[in-house]
Amino acid sequence: MQLNREELIKAYQGMCRIREFEDAVHEEFASGALPGFVHLYAGEEASAMGICLNLNDQDTIASTHRGHGHCIAKGCDSKGMMKELFGKKDGICGGKGGSMHIADLTKGMLGANGIVGGGPPLTCGAALTFKTKKTGNVAVCFLGDGASNQGTTAESINMASILKLPAIFVVEDNGYAEATSSDYSVGGNIVDRGKAYGLHAEKVDGTDFFAVHQAAKEAVERAKNNEGPTLLHVKLSRVYGHYEGDAITYRLDEETKDIKDNKDPIKIFKRKVTESGLLEESQLEEIEKSIKKEIEEAVSESKEAKYPVESDLLTDVYVKY
Amino acid sequence: MSKKTFRESINEAIKQEMRRDENVIVLGEDVAGGAGTKGDQDAWGGPMAVTKGLAPEFGRERVIDTPITESAIIGTAAGAALTGLRPIADLMFVDFMGVCFDQIFNQAGKFRYMFGGKAVTPLTIRTMYGGGLRAASQHSQCLYPIFTHIPGLKVVIPSNPYDAKGLFVQAVRDDDPVVFFEHKMMYDDEGEVPDELYTIPFGEANFTREGKDVALISMGRTVNLCNQVADEVKKDNISCSVLDLRTLSPLDEDSILEAVDETGRVIIVDESSPRCNVATDISALISDKAFSSLKAPIKMITPPHTPVPFSPALEDLYLPSADNIKKTISNILN
């Protein structure tokens, strides 16, 4: 563990912020307050934070339908995000995008994505910009085990490989693509797929923030040293279903219990840092409390916030038409 | 001003824009040709040699030969556009949209709206369309109506070398994603084209002929067919106007309504498949906004509702023809 106190605190704050956000969305959705559909990231926090703490605002990420965690980890404003989920005018995308299209280009967050496998080609594009302009930045793509089976992913890792792009593909394998197991749907294995295209590829324990952080750190260094793209197969679990409202009948109760008891990255992080004396329990509880308050405010402010109006319907289609 | 082909006109537009703006790059399959070979490093310049000469001048960093990987080509271009480059992506044949359409219509075309107006995606997609080359069903389609259907995309379809250059320069400089349609049978067409850079604004149709009896409304290659017919029927004292739409999105509704108003008789010539195409769209527009100006039913000249056939005998029957336009003119005048 080479992280300093400040970084550890940042990591814990981020993971707690994601969890609180998702738990709040879970509740608000169940109560009928939220329109549309949402896919929650709870349980996967170590991946988003472990990766994004290695990035700056000019580095980019492309995300997925399960994108709230990535957005928060990359620095998107949690209140703006919550307002967006409520479809409010002050939402981070003016209420026009919703859960699956949260983006903040000033933070290098190129968008959650409603299309499975939509992000990998875009990541090559951002990486090509960095390579062409010699900015020294890196483009990261989060995708799931489901997207690992999409043709766009194969095309993109090949493109990144042959053009030696500063790109990192983070395959978050939570075990299920919708209601289908990744044991069933992934032929061969994901690391081998990366290696087959000439990428540096490795499997990472996604319940362990420190493992993800270290793998990402090395991947970013490789990208910046012009050593080409990396694929990380991050094995983790989602606490909730594919989407809110999913009864999760495909997953046995004991597996869900095991996820909550033994695979919770926040609990694991907390245990590690307190046992090793890096941070104190009371300090972590302070963080938990202040994040809880922040998210409660986000929800109440979102409920109070105004909806967009009719004139907003027609704007933002084109720069000029 | 000098005589240039349609091909030379686009080539010159790309080169001049690349000289002017270092953020302009070109990527696609064999846009240079010869990557990884010991042979010619500017072997093709695309299958129709439109991008020939770019790689030697600008280098392979800016003229990027890609694998045959349309989703990654278009997606890479879209992502690059979103982050500060001004890419020209080559989708060789528009028929290949089937293997990359998500990146065009769900990604590039929607960024701005989905992200609440914060995204700028200055992407130009060049693509070839149309029949006549005996290229059969998967290399001859028009498909521009499908792109026109998508809010967030702009669709440009020049009919001559002069327009091609001006519209192409506008496409590159435009801050929205543009799909630029080049008819594969037009590359050797010649016309006067200024040497210097100029732009033609989108959404401004062009009357290539003035007339008072019948308005022929068309786009791309079939504009030339309409021009030819308009010139030929003059000897029968029939006066046709020809309206070249130039861009399908945005669409110059005012000029369409003006053409209807001046003639009261409209024939729309559209090489794309007949269901839900540009002809039906314009016909609906006229019915809605200018019904009382009509002296005869609106006529649409399109291919039949079939894939594009291979056999020259069949493809010639399939495509809109001068004869067909002439017959339709005489029908609606009588």
CATH code where residue A151 lies: 3.40.50.970
CA atoms in the 13 A half-sphere facing the CB of A101: 22
pLDDT in tens, B269-283: 999 999 999 999 999
Residue A94: C-alpha distances to residues A9, A33, A37, A64, B250 (Å): 31, 18, 17, 19, 25
Is residue A321 included in any domain, yes or no? no
Alpha helices in B141-220 (DSSP H): 144-148, 161-173
**Chain B residues closer than 8 Å to A110 by CB:** 79, 82-83
Assess A123–B contact: CB distance below 8 Å, yes or no. yes
Is residue A315 included in any domain, yes or no? no
What's the pLDDT score for residue B82? 98
pLDDT band at residue A1 using 50, 70 and 90 as cut-offs: low
pLDDT in tens, A13-70: 999 999 999 999 999 999 999 999 999 999 999 999 999 999 999 999 999 999 999 9
What is the third-level CATH fold of B206-333? Rossmann fold (3.40.50)
Superfamily name and number for B2-193: Thiamin diphosphate (ThDP)-binding fold, Pyr/PP domains (3.40.50.970)
The distance of A20 to chain B (nearest Cα, Å) reads 24
Is residue A311 included in any domain, yes or no? no
Q: Report residue B261: phi and psi, to 5°.
A: -60, -40
The interface residues of chain A toward chain B in range 127-146, judged by CB-CB distance below 8 A, are 127-130, 132-133, 139
Is residue A65 included in any domain, yes or no? yes
Q: Does the pLDDT value for residue A2 go beyond 90?
A: no
C-beta atoms surrounding B328 within 10 Å: 20
Q: Report the alpha-carbon distance of residue B171 to residue B149 in Å, rounded.
A: 18
What's the pLDDT score for residue B161? 98
Q: Are the C-beta atoms of residues B35 and B67 closer than 8 Å to each other?
A: no
Tokens representing A33? Answer: 């307050």
CATH topology identical between B2-193 and B206-333 = yes
Q: Which parts of chain B have pLDDT scores under 70?
A: none
Assess A122–B contact: CB distance below 8 Å, yes or no. yes
Tally of domains within chain A:
1
Assess A318–B contact: CB distance below 8 Å, yes or no. yes
Q: Report the alpha-carbon distance of residue A239 to residue A237 in Å, rounded.
A: 6
Q: Are the C-beta atoms of residues A81 and A68 closer than 8 Å to each other?
A: yes
Between A1 and B332, the more confident residue is B332
Could you tell me the residue ranges of all domains in chain B?
2-193, 206-333
What's the pLDDT score for residue A140? 98
What's the pLDDT score for residue A132? 98
**Closest Cβ–Cβ partner in A129, A162, A318 for B176:** A318
Does ipTM exceed 0.95?
Answer: no
Element housing A62 (H / E): strand A60-62
- Cross-chain residue pair B107–A118, CB shorter than 8 Å: yes
**Chain B residues closer than 8 Å to A133 by CB:** 84-85
What's the pLDDT score for residue B18? 98
Average pLDDT value over all residues in chain A: 97
Tokens representing B105? Answer: 């219509």
What's the pLDDT score for residue B113? 98
Assess A229–B contact: CB distance below 8 Å, yes or no. no
Assess A272–B contact: CB distance below 8 Å, yes or no. no
Is the sign of the CA dihedral A279, A281, A285, A286 positive or negative?
negative
What's the pLDDT score for residue B1? 78
For residue B2, what are the contacts with CB-CB under 8 A and spacing of at least 6?
Answer: B192, B193, B195
Is residue A318 included in any domain, yes or no? no
What's the pLDDT score for residue A42? 98
The percentage of residues in chain A with a pLDDT greater than 70, rounded to a whole number, is 100
What's the pLDDT score for residue A130? 98
Q: Does the pLDDT value for residue A177 go beyond 70?
A: yes
What's the pLDDT score for residue B225? 98
Is residue A316 included in any domain, yes or no? no
Is residue A107 included in any domain, yes or no? yes
Q: Does the pLDDT value for residue A260 go beyond 60?
A: yes
Is residue A22 included in any domain, yes or no? yes
The percentage of residues in chain A with a pLDDT greater than 90, rounded to a whole number, is 99
Global pTM value: 0.96
Residue A191: C-alpha distances to residues A159, A169, A309 (Å): 17, 11, 48
Q: Report the alpha-carbon distance of residue B97 to residue B78 in Å, rounded.
A: 14
Element housing B181 (H / E): strand B178-183
**Closest Cβ–Cβ partner in A124, A158, A162 for B75:** A124
By residue range, what is the domain housing residue A91? 5-306
**Residue B25's closest chain A neighbor by CA?**
A132
